[in-house]
Amino acid sequence: MNHEYYMKEALRLAETTLKEGEFPVGAILVFKNEIVATGSRKGTAGDFANEVDHAEITALRNLAGRKEFNEINRQEMTLYCTMEPCLMCFGAILLSGIGKIVYAYEDVMGGGTGCEIEHLSPLYRHCSVEIIPGILRKESLAVFKAYFSNPSNSYWKGSLLADYTLTR
């Protein structure tokens, strides 16, 4: 599978989200070299951040709406995301049975993929996922730098993630 090709598609979603003033995370789900669902981060542009509508969750929700994918082996699916999934998204990905996560930029503040599955609660211990970090990291970093450099974007402004991103 061409990881860079699909990550570029996720980056396009992130760039669109950035133009909308939202936190620039894009996610796509791929099955047998076909993009079957997409998602982008929503709910960060206002005064009160919506902490549920993450790109990965939206992509999983969009996949669930496609009946033709209810009976497939989701271990054959790959999720591409411009930022490392958080704990909430990582848990949802595990429970959804997605076989591979490919992400561009590490989330030093809230990334969840470093969790050792065998130390999680019993519900998650049967899950397995391959994780591939750093695909088109530089390109994703540029998008997040653009976000944190814009004074009108307040989501996570002054946070560990913002400081880390702006010093790379």
Determine the pLDDT at residue 67.
77
Here the contacts of 139-142 (C-beta below 8 Å, separation 24 or greater) are 139/7, 139/8, 139/11, 139/104, 140/7, 140/11, 140/14, 140/82, 140/83, 140/104, 140/105, 141/104, 141/105, 141/165, 141/168
pLDDT at 155 over 90: yes
Single out the catalytic residue among 15, 56, 84, 106. Answer: 56
Q: Where are the domains of the chain?
A: 3-167
46 pLDDT above the threshold of 90: no
pLDDT at 70 over 80: no
For the beta carbon of residue 73, count every other beta carbon within 10 angstroms: 9
**Where residue 59 falls among pLDDT bands split at 50, 70, 90?**
very high
User: How do residues 98-133 score in pLDDT, each as one tens digit?
Assistant: 999 999 999 999 999 999 888 888 888 889 999 999
- Catalytic residue status for 56: yes
Which CATH number, 3.40.140.10, 3.40.30.120, 3.40.1190.20, 3.40.50.300, labels domain 3-167?
3.40.140.10
Write down the pTM of the prediction. 0.94
Nearest to 156 by CA among 45, 7, 12: 45
Q: Per the structure block, which two tokens stand in for 144?
A: 């997040």
